[in-house]
């Protein structure tokens, strides 16, 4: 049995008598080489994902140089399993040359048989020490002189081999030298251990779930050390220091005794730090705003191609995270290497997401609060008077409305702001999916909320357009799109409300009536079902009492305590719900006109009733000209006050802050400070819009004092007329900067 052979050679047979690394490897694998692949399938997790991710990024990196020679070096590739597997994602015939380098002859014998069967003439096997490997093409055929290999390799992989190579510093330095500085890609998957106190650099490149408990940390280091596999943090730390991180994912292998034995492993993609990232840096530092704590020191860019050292970059505060990071690495002696930047700077595609460092406040958000946006963008557009020259500031939420504004007018800039990083991950996913998918796959994800091949799409197509932090979030939360009985919109805090509604309708025996309500062809039919079947359930005293509960208000409805108080000050919860829903059902047909409540009742959208970005025409508008409309997006992961503080004076023309100011206590100093910054960054004649649970919100007077002419767009009068297709707020206001 292959498993018994594996146990004998790995746990019982001694490795005595081996004098060097090659002798140890040959003796260890000589009797198990033929069963190596069969016995490592469950143990060596992540290899397929690393290759699939690499294939997607390779296509993107090489899009502008399709004719340039492409060489792949698989270091420690052993039996050639990785090369055979890669053919599924990136045809081996697409490489000009593939080199498998390994020091273990028994494993290479298996690879030779494998490649002979495949008939690949461009695949070559080299039995060499990885730390000083030499490719045959680096040797001049006409002389004894060798060719300088600098930048000659396009792709390098280390699959569970970095932890086995003693001279890893030399190896990584050599890879950095031979890897193409612009299009080069390095992919690594391996075991690891890490402490709990992540450095600022680790936080900047995405450290979700990286920490290992002390028992796990020391047990696995000692256990693997018996087989000369070294899991100490030094290897990964130097890897992440020497190269710019593109993607980083930390997983746990549960192939033996799930939930008890969990071996930490990571998947990592990177590129040379010498890559020209000037376009990305420029977007962050000059156009992006919010430079405090988000970008690298200006001194780091001296001499970087494309960066004018005379550009005025706002100064960074002493003590800010990036300054601390700069100080942390300022004493490192590395020739011609600038301080490491965050993974955001090394993205191979559009820089939508501004860099952010994970703070304690970010960890308070376990997931997104809103899976959909709860304001009517059609009404917004009627009053915004948007043009392509406008610079907008909006709250991210689920990103639906920001996408609507991009479709309506393609403004020059749309700053999307949210303290919850998960809301940014969601909008990033939508932007990346628009950029990389066709309409059918996109609608399956965000219309139906379910796609059976989401993981494959994420790795192969979407990931090259995502930041490392966003990729890791969705890689961990795959079930959000892959569970047919619980589609995407039933996840997040807002998903609690939708699931609760389903339970109530089922207990009340009106589930079929809910479906009928969403299929009505006329308003008369819709009102009849509403009045007779659904309304008595929703306005039941027990349900109304639950909606008064502050815990339910926040965790299910996303209504904070201060806004809840404003709502109750206006009247009873019963009256508020009645005045909200009654006029809606008599005004808008759910089947074709009101996608907000259709989603709440069905748990998904339909082609006939969905946000603009989910219509075919809206999708094609966003995707046209290589996704030109998406270039306006800048995603900030910070408080509204901090982002406003980092923007230039008079740099915004349109601002929508939703019901954000309802969240503060009456006469809060924070509101005064935020509105002062708002007045500073909005240009003369610029417009600010907000909604409120109160008919006359208390903070209007502060906006007036700050220099805004405040006037209502519409105020709810009673249960007869709906303000818009949501009708959840008591008022909608406009402030014009005087």
If DSSP states are collapsed to H, E and C, what string results for 169-203?
A: HHHHHHHHHHECCCCCEEEEEEECCCCCCCCHHHH
Task: Tell me if 163 sits within 8 A of 235, measured CB to CB.
Answer: yes
Higher pLDDT, residue 197 or 681: 681
pLDDT in tens, 309-331: 333 333 333 333 333 333 333 33
Q: What is the pLDDT of residue 306?
A: 33
pLDDT in tens, 249-261: 998 887 655 555 6
Q: What is the pLDDT of residue 636?
A: 94
Distance CA 329, CA 334 (A): 10
Higher pLDDT, residue 283 or 411: 411
Per-residue pLDDT, averaged over 515-540, amounts to 94
Q: What is the pLDDT of residue 570?
A: 74
pLDDT in tens, 266-284: 999 999 988 766 555 544 5
Q: What is the pLDDT of residue 363?
A: 73
Per-residue pLDDT, averaged over 413-434, amounts to 96
Write out the H or E segment, with its range, that includes residue 270: strand 263-272
Pairing mode, if any, of strands 97-102 and 263-272?
A: unpaired
Q: What is the pLDDT of residue 370?
A: 87
Tokens of 390: 């406008």
Q: What is the pLDDT of residue 34?
A: 61
Q: Which CATH class is domain 658-738?
A: alpha beta
Residues 6+ away with beta carbon under 8 Å from 427:
396, 398, 399, 402, 416, 633, 635
Q: Which ranges in the chain are annotated with CATH 3.40.50.150?
A: 21-137+145-272, 658-738
* pLDDT-derived band at 617, boundaries 50, 70, 90: very high
Q: How many residues does the chain have?
A: 738
126: left (phi over 0), alpha (psi -120 to 50) or beta: beta
Per-residue pLDDT, averaged over 282-295, amounts to 44
Nearest to 722 by CA among 598, 586, 525: 586
Strand partners, 709: 736
With vertex at residue 592, the alpha carbon angle to CA 589 and CA 594, rounded to the nearest 5 degrees, is 60
Largest CA distance in the chain: 93
For 520, how many CA atoms within 13 A lie in the half-sphere containing its CB?
A: 23
Q: What is the pLDDT of residue 717?
A: 81
Residues 6+ away with beta carbon under 8 Å from 407:
612, 613, 618, 621, 622, 629
Q: What is the pLDDT of residue 334?
A: 35
Q: Which CATH class is domain 21-137+145-272?
A: alpha beta
Q: Which of 208-217, 420-429, 452-461, 562-571 has the lowest mean pLDDT?
A: 562-571
pLDDT in tens, 562-611: 777 777 777 778 888 888 889 999 999 999 999 999 999 999 999 999 99
Nearest to 383 by CA among 696, 580, 594, 654: 654
Residue position matching structure tokens 């219309």: 447
pLDDT in tens, 156-174: 999 999 999 999 999 999 9
Residues 6+ away with beta carbon under 8 Å from 542:
none
Average of per-residue pLDDT values in the chain: 84
Q: What is the pLDDT of residue 620?
A: 98
Q: Counting Cβ atoms within 10 Å, is residue 285 exposed (0-12), middle (13-18) or buried (19+)?
A: buried
Task: Tell me if 445 sits within 8 A of 370, measured CB to CB.
Answer: no
* pLDDT-derived band at 288, boundaries 50, 70, 90: very low
Distance CA 394, CA 614 (A): 20
* pLDDT-derived band at 402, boundaries 50, 70, 90: very high
pLDDT in tens, 182-214: 899 999 999 999 877 777 777 777 667 788 888
99: left (phi over 0), alpha (psi -120 to 50) or beta: beta
Residue position matching structure tokens 């197509």: 461
Residue position matching structure tokens 């479709």: 407
Residue position matching structure tokens 């005025």: 312
Q: What is the pLDDT of residue 326?
A: 33
Higher pLDDT, residue 617 or 308: 617
pLDDT in tens, 486-495: 999 999 888 8
Q: What is the pLDDT of residue 25?
A: 64
Tokens of 571: 């009247």
Q: What is the pLDDT of residue 719?
A: 77
Q: Counting Cβ atoms within 10 Å, is residue 318 exposed (0-12), middle (13-18) or buried (19+)?
A: exposed
Q: What is the pLDDT of residue 35?
A: 56
* pLDDT-derived band at 95, boundaries 50, 70, 90: very high
Per-residue pLDDT, averaged over 385-389, amounts to 96
Q: Which of 12-16, 306-310, 655-659 has the lowest mean pLDDT?
A: 306-310
Q: What is the pLDDT of residue 493?
A: 84
Kindly provide the b/e burial profile for residues 196-216, where b requires at least 16 CB atoms within 10 angstroms of the residue's own CB: eeebbbbbbbbbbebbbeeeb
Higher pLDDT, residue 69 or 302: 69
With a cut of 90, say whether residue 517 has pLDDT above it: yes
């Amino acid at each position: 049995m292959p498993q018994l052979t594996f146990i004998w050679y790995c746990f019982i047979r001694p490795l005595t008598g081996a004098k060097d690394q090659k002798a140890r490897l040959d003796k260890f694998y000589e009797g198990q080489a033929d069963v190596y692949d069969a016995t490592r399938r469950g143990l060596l997790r992540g290899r397929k994902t690393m290759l699939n991710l690499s294939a997607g990024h390779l296509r993107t990196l090489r899009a502008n140089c399709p004719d340039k020679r492409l060489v792949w070096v698989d270091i420690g590739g052993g039996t050639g399993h990785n090369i055979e597997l890669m053919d599924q994602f990136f045809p081996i015939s697409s490489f000009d040359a593939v080199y498998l380098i390994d020091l273990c002859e028994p494993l290479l014998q298996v690879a030779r048989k494998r490649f002979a069967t495949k008939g690949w003439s461009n695949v070559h096997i080299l039995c060499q020490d990885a730390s000083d490997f030499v490719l045959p093409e680096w040797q001049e055929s006409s002389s004894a002189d060798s060719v300088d290999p600098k930048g000659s390799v396009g792709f390098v992989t280390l699959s569970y081999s970095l932890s086995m190579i003693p001279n890893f510093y030399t190896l990584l330095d050599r890879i950095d030298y031979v890897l193409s500085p612009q299009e080069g890609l390095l992919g690594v998957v391996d075991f690891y251990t890490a402490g709990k106190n992540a450095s600022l650099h680790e936080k900047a490149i995405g450290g979700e779930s990286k920490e290992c408990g002390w028992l796990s940390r020391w047990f696995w280091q000692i256990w693997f050390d018996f087989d000369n596999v070294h899991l100490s943090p030094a290897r990964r730390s130097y890897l992440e220091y020497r190269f710019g991180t593109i993607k980083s994912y930390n997983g746990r292998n549960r192939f033996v005794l799930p939930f008890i034995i969990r071996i930490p492993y990571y998947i990592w993609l990177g590129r040379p730090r010498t890559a020209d990232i000037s376009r990305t840096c420029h977007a962050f530092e000059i156009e992006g705003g919010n430079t405090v704590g988000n970008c690298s020191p200006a001194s780091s860019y001296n001499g970087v191609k494309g960066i004018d050292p005379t550009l005025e970059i706002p100064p960074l505060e002493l003590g800010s995270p990036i300054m601390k990071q700069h100080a942390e690495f300022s004493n490192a002696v590395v020739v011609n290497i600038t301080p490491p930047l965050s993974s955001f700077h090394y993205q191979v595609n559009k820089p939508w997401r501004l860099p952010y460092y994970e703070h304690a406040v970010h960890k308070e958000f376990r997931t997104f609060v809103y899976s959909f946006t709860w304001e009517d963008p059609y009404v917004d557009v009627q009053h915004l008077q948007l043009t392509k020259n406008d610079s907008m500031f909006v709250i991210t939420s689920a990103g639906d409305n920001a996408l609507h504004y991009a479709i309506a007018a393609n403004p020059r800039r749309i700053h999307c702001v949210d303290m919850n990083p998960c809301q940014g991950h969601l909008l990033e996913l939508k932007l990346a999916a628009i950029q990389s998918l066709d309409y059918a796959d996109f609608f399956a994800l965000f219309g139906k909320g379910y796609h059976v091949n989401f993981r494959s799409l994420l790795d192969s197509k979407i990931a090259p357009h995502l930041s490392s932090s966003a990729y890791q979030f969705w890689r961990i939360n795959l079930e959000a799109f892959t569970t047919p009985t619980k589609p995407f919109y039933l996840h997040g805090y807002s998903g609690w409300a939708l699931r609760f509604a389903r339970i109530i309708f089922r207990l009340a025996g009106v589930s079929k009536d809910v479906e009928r309500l969403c299929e009505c062809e006329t308003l008369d039919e819709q009102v009849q079902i509403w009045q007779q079947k659904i309304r008595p359930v929703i306005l039941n005293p027990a349900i109304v009492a639950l909606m008064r509960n502050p815990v339910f208000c926040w965790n299910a409805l996303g209504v904070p305590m201060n806004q809840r108080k404003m709502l109750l000050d206006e009247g009873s919860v019963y009256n508020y719900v009645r005045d909200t829903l009654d006029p809606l059902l008599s005004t808008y047909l759910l089947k074709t006109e009101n996608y907000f409540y259709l989603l709440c009742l069905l748990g998904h959208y339909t082609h006939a009733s969905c946000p603009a970005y989910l219509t075919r025409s809206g999708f094609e508008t966003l995707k046209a000209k290589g996704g030109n409309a998406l270039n306006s997006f800048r995603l900030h992961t910070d408080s509204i006050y901090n982002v406003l503080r980092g923007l230039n004076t008079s740099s915004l023309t349109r601002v929508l802050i939703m019901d954000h100011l309802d969240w503060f206590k009456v006469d809060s100093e924070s509101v005064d400070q935020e509105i002062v910054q708002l007045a500073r960054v909005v240009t003369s004649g610029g417009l600010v819009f907000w909604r409120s649970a109160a008919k006359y919100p208390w903070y209007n007077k502060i906006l007036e004092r700050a220099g805004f002419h405040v006037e209502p767009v519409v105020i709810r009068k009673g249960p007869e007329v709906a303000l818009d297709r949501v009708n959840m707020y008591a008022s909608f206001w406009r402030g014009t900067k005087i």
